[in-house]
Amino acid sequence: MPTSLKDTTTLHNGVKMPWLGLGVYKVQEGEEVIQAVKAAIKNGYIGIDTAALYQNEAGVGQAIREAGVPREELFITTKVWNNDQGYDSTLKAFETSLGKLQLDYLDLYLIHWPGPDKNKYRETWKALEKLYKDGRVHAIGVSNFQVHHLEDLIAHTEIKPMVNQVELHPSFNQAALREFCKKEGIQIEAWAPLKQGQLFNDPSLIEIGQKYNKSVAQVILRWDLQNEVVTIPKSIKEQRIVANADIFDFELSAEDMERINSLNKDERVGPDPDTFTRDF
């Protein structure tokens, strides 16, 4: 079990990825993202999750340079957006992202959504394989891939994704996908771990929190860790960034883990990957 923000899971290619990182979706480019990322790194975070879509890669890069922590101690993820899918366009999108971040390598590059066209994400994946083989990125993965997308990708390409980043929280706990990924050695990463703020009034989570003297957010993030799920809560407030990482000093009992597991309603806050066709 991880005992600090520096603790990592080892991906199937041997690369080490932090269990807890900062997400920066909907964090404004410029001062807002710079301050959030610097606050996170100052308080011990090593993982940052951005995407071309978020339009804040330049600020993330600036914060990394100003944070005063050696680049190699950090784990930086970004993602290729849907309208850049395809072999050549993905290679180009990668250079654009890296240029904005002003980094010379990435730790993890993800396909943001599978989209409706299997051939397209397979071509996109081939570009990620090239970037990986060329040493431009230390690990490659996907996001929002369902079991059938993963089966297809594994059957038609060379390298198995190291990570699948998906919507995952107590209302949508992805039990079947987690089991599949565990069997395949693919690390699951939770986006919207806090259901974008929609779980804070849940009576069961409040009650469990009271028992351990922890907030609902801390209970959920701890549940992620105990389920071997990498998690990337977003906040722009330093106090919350710090609190969200204060989850290494308690352990949820098997009974409480089960109680949180049983809150599943298969209820998403984001789109269904099988029908999401924006910008393809």
Ligand X SMILES: NC(=O)c1ccc[n+]([C@@H]2O[C@H](COP(=O)([O-])OP(=O)(O)OC[C@H]3O[C@@H](n4cnc5c(N)ncnc54)[C@H](OP(=O)(O)O)[C@@H]3O)[C@@H](O)[C@H]2O)c1
Q: Which of 107, 193, 214, 230 binds ligand X (CB under 6 A)?
A: 193
Q: Indicate the residue type of 56.
A: N
Report if residue 168 touches ligand X, rule: CB under 6 A.
no
Structure-block tokens of residue 150 = 């993963």
Report if residue 237 touches ligand X, rule: CB under 6 A.
yes
* Distance in Å, CB of 191 to ligand X, minimum: 3
- Pick 158 or 249: Cβ nearer ligand X: 249
Report if residue 174 touches ligand X, rule: CB under 6 A.
no
Q: Which of 89, 243, 246, 257 binds ligand X (CB under 6 A)?
A: 243
Nearest to 27 by CA among 5, 61, 57, 47: 57
* Distance in Å, CB of 55 to ligand X, minimum: 13
3-state SS, the chain, equals CCCCCCCEEECCCCCEEECEEEECCCCCCCHHHHHHHHHHHHCCCCEEECCHHHCCHHHHHHHHHHHCCCHHHCEEEEEECHHHCCHHHHHHHHHHHHHHHCCCCEEEEEECCCCCCHHHHHHHHHHHHHHHHCCCEEEEEEECCCHHHHHHHHHHCCCCCCEEEEECECCECCHHHHHHHHHHCCEEEEECCCHHHCCCCCHHHHHHHHHHCCCHHHHHHHHHHHCCCEECCECCCHHHHHHHCCCCCCCCCHHHHHHHHCCCCCCCCCCCCCCCCCCC
Report if residue 25 touches ligand X, rule: CB under 6 A.
yes
Q: Which of 236, 248, 259, 264 binds ligand X (CB under 6 A)?
A: 236
Binding to ligand X by CB under 6 A, coded x per residue (else -) over 32-71, reads -----------------x----------------------
- Pick 131 or 220: Cβ nearer ligand X: 220
* Distance in Å, CB of 178 to ligand X, minimum: 16
- Pick 67 or 110: Cβ nearer ligand X: 110
- Pick 19 or 135: Cβ nearer ligand X: 19
The residue whose Cβ lies closest to ligand X is: 23
Residues 195-234 that bind ligand X (CB under 6 A): 195-197, 215, 217, 232-234
Q: Rounded to the nearest 10 degrees, how much is the dihedral formed by the CA atoms of 56, 62, 68, 71?
A: 70
**Spatial separation of the C-alpha atoms in residues 218 and 244, rounded to whole Å:** 6
Where does this chain touch ligand X (CB under 6 A) — which range of 2-10, 91-99, 174-182, 240-248? 240-248
- Pick 144 or 146: Cβ nearer ligand X: 144
* Distance in Å, CB of 15 to ligand X, minimum: 19
- How many positions of this chain bind ligand X (CB under 6 A)? 27
* Residues classed as catalytic: 54
Structure-block tokens of residue 205 = 């989570």
Contacts of 155 (CB under 8 A, 6+ apart): none
Q: Which of 180, 191, 208, 222 binds ligand X (CB under 6 A)?
A: 191
Report if residue 20 touches ligand X, rule: CB under 6 A.
no
Q: Which residues bind ligand X (CB under 6 A)?
A: 23-25, 49, 112, 143-144, 165, 191-197, 215, 217, 232-237, 240, 243-244, 270
